[in-house]
Structures are given as structure tokens and as C-alpha cells.
Amino acid sequence: MDARTFIVSREDWSLHRKGYQDQARHQQKVREAIKQNLPDLVTEENIIMSDGKQIIKVPIRSLDEFRFVYNFNKKKHVGQGDGDSQVGDVLGTDGSQGQGKGQQAGNQPGADVIEAEVNIAELENMLFDELELPHLKQKDKDQLETTEIRFNDIRKKGIMSNIDKKRTILENLRRNALAGQPGIHGINPDDLRFKTWEEIVKPHSNAVIIAMMDTSGSMGSFEKYCARSFFFWMTRFLRRQYEKVELVFIAHHTEAKEVTEEEFFTRGESGGTICSSAYIKALEIIDNRYPTSSYNIYPFHFSDGDNLTSDNERCVKLISQLLKRSNMFGYGEVNQYNRSSTLMSAYRNINLPHFMYYVIKEKTEVYKALKHFFKKQPGGVRHDVR
């Protein structure tokens, strides 16, 4: 051990942050990729059908490290058994095996897209950053304030009915432990903790979305899916702006009916289309249930545009009536094959500031439709109703 050929050392590594820095860079790239993929993500089934999950997995294209590699699935591999493997043994079925080999992920292409976990709230922030609520109106209720009580603080003084037992016992435990006699005993006034509340004053604001959709035979699953995605995001967007957002679903073919959400998106009916029936129903519901003085009303209508020609004129008239009661009226046409539509030819000529329309030809255009209906007004002041 005289001429030592080795050294043992122990540096201070606490400033070595390279791994974390590049990890942060990667995460930043993931977020950028999500942003670039917003048009795809908006109609992502995982999200629309997520049922309120907070974190969802979405496929992100473009963040893999691409290189020339063999097709994993078309390759032979060598494996090892317990000693009794036989030709013909099944090792696993697709998905459970092959792609799950984390160790070698570097040189194997798993799926062609990688999945990233996204927080819906984060996605909303990105998306709604680009949107704004147009044509806000002051409602009477804005002056109406509601007072809410929220228990959100702990104090040493308070009334006995509001005692926080758990914290009181914790304090007692702590004090006894300090005194060298652990256990719960001898609760004294110093240990007592009380819950206390704050009064929160909020302006009361309401909005209602009147979702109308054509359920006639010509509306297929693609058309419905687009409409569904749109309403999903629109509801979430309005929830941010208003304290309370209600949804009313009206399905129509030749006549209109108020239906539940599930029926709205799943029910298919045959027959022709008379859009005015839905508008009449909408007017009726507004007049009965949602006084314009206290509600911001957003009627939106989705259709494939295949309306009975003689009905078009009535529709145009009804829209102007609806507009008198609403903040805006949106018409979305899902028109996959770019047919000329009778309804659109009529609506193109409506020249009212609060009437908007958009034609969706493919899934990614749901995003564009959202941006179109709720586009940021150049230089406009952002109103927050709340």
C-alpha cells in the first residue's frame, strides 16, 4: 500500500445541476409541443371523455429522438426461459410485451407517438389564453352581491362550537412531548385551536349556453363528435368567466325537444331538418326560465347545413329575435365534404355584429372555430365579469 494507485474522494456536488437543467429544457419542449398540437388536442378523445379527471395522457408527436432503427415488431429477439420453454409458448400479447422494455427504450421505437401527462387546467390556460369573451353586457345581477362564508383560518381564540379538535390534540401532543411526557393529557387553554371564517363578497353572475344540434339522419358520428368537442371546451371556457354556467340541450330534426346531455350527443334520428323549430324552442326556454336581465345567454347551433329551403327565411328572422336576448349567437356548420349548404347560403347574408358562423371541415378545425367565436378583440379591454 506504499505506492497507492488509487484515490478516494468526495466532492461537493451540490452545484452540479446539469441533469435538472436539461430536464427542465425537455419539459419546456413538451409544453411547446403541446401548444403546437393544440388543434389536435382540442378534439382528443381522452380529454373530451375524461369525465373530470385532472391529469390525462395525450399523445405528443414530435418529441421523440428520431433515428434510423429497425422495426421492433418485425424483428426476431433472443430471450431466456426458466428451463422449460417450448417452441410455441406465448410470452405475451401486444402491448404487454415488447414495448414495455424500459431499459432499452433508447434504441427502440415504441409507439410512434409518446404520451405526455397533461394537467387539464394547464391545457385550459394555454388554450384560453388565446380566447376572449366578446360582447359582454352588464347585467342587473352584477350589482347584486352574494356573501359566502368560508372557513379558512385557524386561531387561538374563538367560540367553543368552532373548536378544531384535531389541531387542538396535536398541540397538546406537541407540548407534552416537549415537556418530556408524551401522550394526550392535560389539555389546557393554550392548546385550543379554533376554526374561523372569512366573508367573501362575490358579484353574482350567470350564464346559460343553449346548445342546439341537428339530430337528423344526415348528422353522422363525425359531425356529432365535432359538436361535442366544441361544447366541451365552450362550457369550460364560460365556467371560467361566470360563476355559474348552465347548459340547455335542444335536439331537433323537424321538431325540437329539450333533452339530456347524454341523449343530445348519442341520439340519432332520421328525417328531414327544420332548424327554425329549435330556435322557437330556444326562445321559449329563454323567456320562461332565463330572464335576460340576470343571464348572459349564448345560443349555439350546430348543424350540417342541410335545412329545408323554405325554412331558411324564418330562421334568419328568429335569429335576430334571439340576438335581442343573447350576448351572441354562434352557428357552427360541420361540413366534411364541403357541400354547398342551404342554411349557410342564407346565413352568409346576415349582417349583425353578434352573429357569427364557422364551417368545420376536419377535426382540427374545432380549435379554429373556438378561436373564431371567442377571438381576442384587437386592443379590446378584457372584461372579467367576476
Partner 1 sequence: MTSDDNRDLEYAIAEITEIAEGFGLDFYPMRYEICPADIIYTFGAYGMPTRFSHWSFGKTFHRMKMQYDFGLSKIYELVINSNPCYAFLLEGNSLIQNKLIVAHVLAHCDFFKNNARFSTSNRNMVESMSATAERVTEYEMEYGTHAVESFIDAVLGIQEHIDPQVVRPQKLDKQRYMELKMREQREQEGQPTKAQGDYDDLWALDEMKIALKSGMAALQELPDRRFPPEPEKDIVWFIQEFSPVLEDWQRDIMSMLRDEMLYFWPQLETKIMNEGWASYWHQRIVRELDLTTDETFEYAKLNSSVVQPSRHSLNPYYLGVKMFEDIEKRWDQPSREERERYGRQPGQGRAKMFEVRELDSDLSFIRNYLTKELTDELDLYIFEKKGPEWKITDKWWENIRDQLVYSRVNGGFPYLVVQDGDYQRNGELYLNHQYEGVELDLKYLERTLPYVYTLWGKPVHLETKVEEKTVMFTYDGKKVSRKFVG
Minimum distance of partner 1 from residue 257's CB (angstroms): 44
Q: Map grid coordinates 406465448 to a residue.
A: 90
Closest separation between CB of residue 129 and partner 1, Å?
Answer: 22
174 binds partner 1 (CB under 8 A): no
Stretch that binds partner 1, among 67-75, 125-133, 207-215, 375-383 (CB under 8 A): 67-75
Report the residue from 49, 69, 121, 200 that binds partner 1 according to the rule CB under 8 A. Answer: 69
* Least distance (Å) between residue 81 CB and partner 1: 4
Bridge partner list, 201: 147
- For residues 57 and 106, what is the distance between their CA atoms, to the nearest angstrom? 21
β-strands 114-119, 55-60: how paired?
Answer: antiparallel
Contact status: 143 vs partner 1 (CB under 8 A) = no
Among positions 78, 178, 179, 381, the unique one binding partner 1 when judged by CB under 8 A: 78
Using DSSP's 3-state secondary structure scheme, residue 359 falls into strand
4 binds partner 1 (CB under 8 A): yes
Q: At what angle do helices 221-241 and 365-373 cross, to 10 degrees?
A: 40
CA distance 36 to 367: 12
Q: In the numeric block, which cell numbers belong to residue 188?
A: 389546557
Cα gap 255→280, rounded to integer Å: 10
Q: Which is nearer to partner 1, 108 or 321 (CB)?
A: 108
Residue numbers 27-56 binding partner 1 by CB under 8 A: 27, 29
Using the contact rule CB under 8 A, the part of the chain among 49-57, 68-76, 141-149, 274-282 near partner 1 is: 68-76
65 sits near partner 1 (criterion: CB under 8 A): yes
Work out whether 7 is an interface residue with partner 1 (CB under 8 A): yes
Q: Least distance to partner 1 from the beta carbon of 28, Å? A: 8
15 binds partner 1 (CB under 8 A): no
Q: How many residues bind partner 1 (CB under 8 A)?
A: 64
- What does residue 276 show for φ and ψ, rounded to 5 degrees? -60, -30
Nine cell digits for residue 32: 411547446
Based on the shown chain and the rule CB under 8 A, indicate whether residue 158 belongs to the binding site for partner 1. no
Site pattern 94..123 for partner 1 (x: CB under 8 A): x--xx--xxxxxxx-x--x-----------
Which helix (H) or strand (E) element contains residue 114?
A: strand 114-119
Quick check: 336 and 308 in contact, CB under 8 A? no
Helix (H) or strand (E) run with residue 148 in it: strand 145-155
Rounded to whole angstroms, the Cα distance separating 110 from 97 reads: 11
**Is position 23 an interface residue for partner 1 (rule: CB under 8 A)?**
yes
Closest distance between partner 1 and the C-beta of residue 364, in Å?
18
- Residues facing 245 on adjacent strands: 207
Chain residues that interact with partner 1, rule: CB under 8 A: 1, 4-11, 13, 16, 18-27, 29, 64-94, 97-98, 101-107, 109, 112
